[in-house]
Amino acid sequence: MKLFKIRGGVHPEDRKGLSSERPIEPIPLPHLLHVPLLQHVGAAANPAVHRGQTVRKGDLLAERQGVISAPVHAPTSGRVVGIGRYPANHPSGLSVPTITLQPDGEDRWSDALVGTDDPFALPPEEIAARVAAAGIVGMGGATFPAAVKLNLRQRYRLHTLVINGSECEPYLTCDDRLIREQSEQVLDGVRIMAHALGVGHIIVAIESNKPEALAAMRAAATGRAEIEIAALPTRYPMGSERHLVFTLTGRESPARGLTADIGVVVHNPATAFAVHEALRHGRPLVERVVTVTGAAIARPANLRVPLGTPVAHLIEQSGGLREAPARLISGGPMMGQPLPSTRVPIVKGSNGVLALTAQEVNRREPMPCIRCGSCVGACPCGLVPLELVARTRAADLEGAVRLGLMDCIGCGSCAYTCPAHIPLVQYINYAKGEMAARGRARHKQIETKRLAELRSARLEAAKRAKREAMARRKRQQQAKAEGETPPLGNAEVGTNAEARP
C-alpha cells in the first residue's frame, strides 16, 4: 500500500536483537503481588474486597469509578493481605492505593468467567461493555481505557481500525513476540474490535525491522480482504498515533484533536490480544508480556507477568544483573521513565524493564546551545524545540505555549539528536507539567469564587428570611393589640415585607 513520509524523526540503533529471539515464557509466582488501583489514565478503582478475603484468579478486586476508569482483577488465586498504599511504578516514587495479594500457588481461575463462542453476534455496545468490565486499557503505555475508544463511533464517523504494531522504541520486543507467537489470537481480537467500532477496513502496521512478525500476520490474515498488512519504514517515532495515521493515510489529525476526527482509531496488538481473551474466554486483563532487557541483564527475556509482580522478581527471573545498572527504566529508552526502585510492581502499561549500563546511557554534560537547528530537523511535530526551551528557561511559559508547546508529543527526538546534549525534552516536559498545574490552580480559583458567592447568597437569603419573619410577627402583634383580626393570608404579608427594602 502507498505510504506517506513523516517529517523529522530519528533513527536510533534498535538493540532489539538482545531479546527478540527469546520466546515468551511464563514466570513462577512471586511471594506477594502488589496490585495498584491506579494503573490507567483517569480515576483510581474502588476496592471491592476486604482484608483476609480469599479470591480466585480473575475475581474483581476493585471496581471502576466513573467513565474514564478501569476495574482491577486478581492476577492469581490467593488471599488479600492488605489494602493500603504502596510505591507506584512511576518516577515520582509516590504511593498509590494498592491491594496486596498473597498467592496460594494454585493459580486457579474463577468459575464465574464465561466467554462467548460468537462475539460477532453481540451488539457493539455489549462488546465495549465486556471490554470495560475486563479492565482493558491501552497496553502500548498510554493506558487509556480501551472501552472508551471502542465507543467512539457514537460521536465520530469511523472508517478504519489501525493496529499499531510499530514498536518503534529501541530494545522493546514484547509486541513483536506476541504477534509472532499468537498471531491468530491477536487477529481475532482485532476483528472483534473492528466489529465493535463498526469499521470495514483494518490496517495492521508493523515496522519493517520485524520481518517475522510481518510474515506471521500476513499468514494469519490470508483470505480476509478487509485486513491490510503494512510494512512501515523503521523510524522513531513511528508508533506515535498521529504520525502512524499520517504515514498510512496521508492525513493529519487536528492539533489537540483525536485520530477519530479523521475517522481512524488506533489500538495496540497487546490490547487486541486482551480483547480476544476477554470476549472468547471471559478472562479479564490480569497479565501482560514484558521485555526485560539491557546490557546489565544477564539473560534478556520476554516474560508473561501477572500484574503486580515486583520488578525485582522479573530481574531475578532473567538471570539477575550482570553488573550494577547505571539506570533502570520502565518502558523504552526514548520515552520510558526511570524506576524509583525495584520494589515497584508491573502494571497494565509496563511494556519493558531496561537495566542499562553507563556505556548505553552515555550521559554527557550539556553545553551551550549554538542554534544549529538539529532539533528543528528532528522534531516530527514541526516545532522549534530550541525556542521552546529558551522560553521555558526564561520562565516565559506563555511564550512557549504560543510556539506550540502543547503540540509536542514528548518523543525525545530533539534531545536525542542535540549535539550539545541539552535536555530539551526534559525542559518541555517540565513546562507542560507546570502549565497543567497552573490550569488546575486556575480551575480551583474559579471554584472557590463560586463557592464563596453561593455562601454569601445563602447567608443573604437567611438574613432576609429572618427579617421577613420578624416583620410578620410584628404585624401580627400590632393587629392583636389593635383588637382587629390578623391579616388573612400569610403569603400576602410575606410579599408586602419583601417589597420593602
Binding residue for other proteins, selected from 357, 426, 476, 496, defined by CB under 8 A: 426
- The answer to whether residue 419 forms part of the interface with other proteins (CB under 8 A) is no
- The answer to whether residue 129 forms part of the interface with other proteins (CB under 8 A) is no
Give 148 or 202: the residue with its C-beta nearer to other proteins. Answer: 148
- The answer to whether residue 298 forms part of the interface with other proteins (CB under 8 A) is no
Binding residue for other proteins, selected from 393, 464, 467, 474, defined by CB under 8 A: 393
Alpha-carbon distance of 386 to 392, in angstroms, equals 10
Give 5 or 85: the residue with its C-beta nearer to other proteins. Answer: 85
Judged by CB under 8 A, the number of residues near other proteins is: 38
* Alpha carbon distances (Å) from 13 to 137, 143, 168, 169: 29, 27, 11, 10
Supply angle C-alpha 336, 409, 380, rounded to 5: 110
- The answer to whether residue 433 forms part of the interface with other proteins (CB under 8 A) is yes
Q: Which of residues 310-369 bind other proteins (CB under 8 A)?
A: 365-368
Most distant CA pair in the chain, distance: 105
- The answer to whether residue 91 forms part of the interface with other proteins (CB under 8 A) is yes
Closest C-alpha to 135, from 53, 65, 240: 65
**Which range of residues in 153-161, 278-286, 388-396, 484-492 is near other proteins by CB under 8 A?**
388-396
The full DSSP string for 454-488 is HHHHHHHHHHHHHHHHHHHHHHHHHHHHTTSPPPS
403 half-sphere exposure, CB direction, 13 A CA radius: 19
Query: Nearest approach, Cβ of 87 to other proteins (angstroms)?
Result: 10
- The answer to whether residue 451 forms part of the interface with other proteins (CB under 8 A) is yes
Binding residue for other proteins, selected from 423, 468, 472, 479, defined by CB under 8 A: 423
Query: Nearest approach, Cβ of 77 to other proteins (angstroms)?
Result: 29
Q: Which of residues 14-73 bind other proteins (CB under 8 A)?
A: 38
- The answer to whether residue 455 forms part of the interface with other proteins (CB under 8 A) is yes
Give 456 or 495: the residue with its C-beta nearer to other proteins. Answer: 456
**Which range of residues in 24-32, 325-333, 378-386, 453-461 is near other proteins by CB under 8 A?**
453-461
Binding residue for other proteins, selected from 215, 263, 430, 475, defined by CB under 8 A: 430
DSSP 259: G
SS3 52: coil
Give 368 or 489: the residue with its C-beta nearer to other proteins. Answer: 368
- The answer to whether residue 460 forms part of the interface with other proteins (CB under 8 A) is no
Q: Which of residues 204-233 bind other proteins (CB under 8 A)?
A: none
Binding residue for other proteins, selected from 9, 383, 427, 493, defined by CB under 8 A: 427
- The answer to whether residue 432 forms part of the interface with other proteins (CB under 8 A) is yes
* Alpha carbon distances (Å) from 187 to 247, 330, 409, 423: 22, 27, 29, 40
Alpha-carbon distance of 109 to 74, in angstroms, equals 10
Give 84 or 250: the residue with its C-beta nearer to other proteins. Answer: 84
Phi, psi (degrees; rounded to nearest 5) at 302? -110, 115
Q: Cβ distance 171 to 293 under 8 Å?
A: yes
Binding residue for other proteins, selected from 1, 441, 481, 488, defined by CB under 8 A: 441
Q: Could you tell me the three cell numbers for 408?
A: 509536542
462-483 burial: b if 16+ Cβ within 10 Å, else e: eeeeeebeebbeeeeeeeeeee
Q: Which stretches within 250-347 are classed as H helix?
A: 269-281, 311-317
Query: Nearest approach, Cβ of 93 to other proteins (angstroms)?
Result: 9
Alpha-carbon distance of 317 to 135, in angstroms, equals 27
- The answer to whether residue 401 forms part of the interface with other proteins (CB under 8 A) is no
Residue 122 CB burial class (10 angstroms; 0-12, 13-18, ≥19):
middle
Which residues lie near other proteins (CB under 8 A)?
Answer: 38, 88, 90-92, 94, 96, 365-368, 392-393, 395, 423, 426-427, 429-430, 432-434, 436-438, 440-442, 444-445, 447-449, 451-455
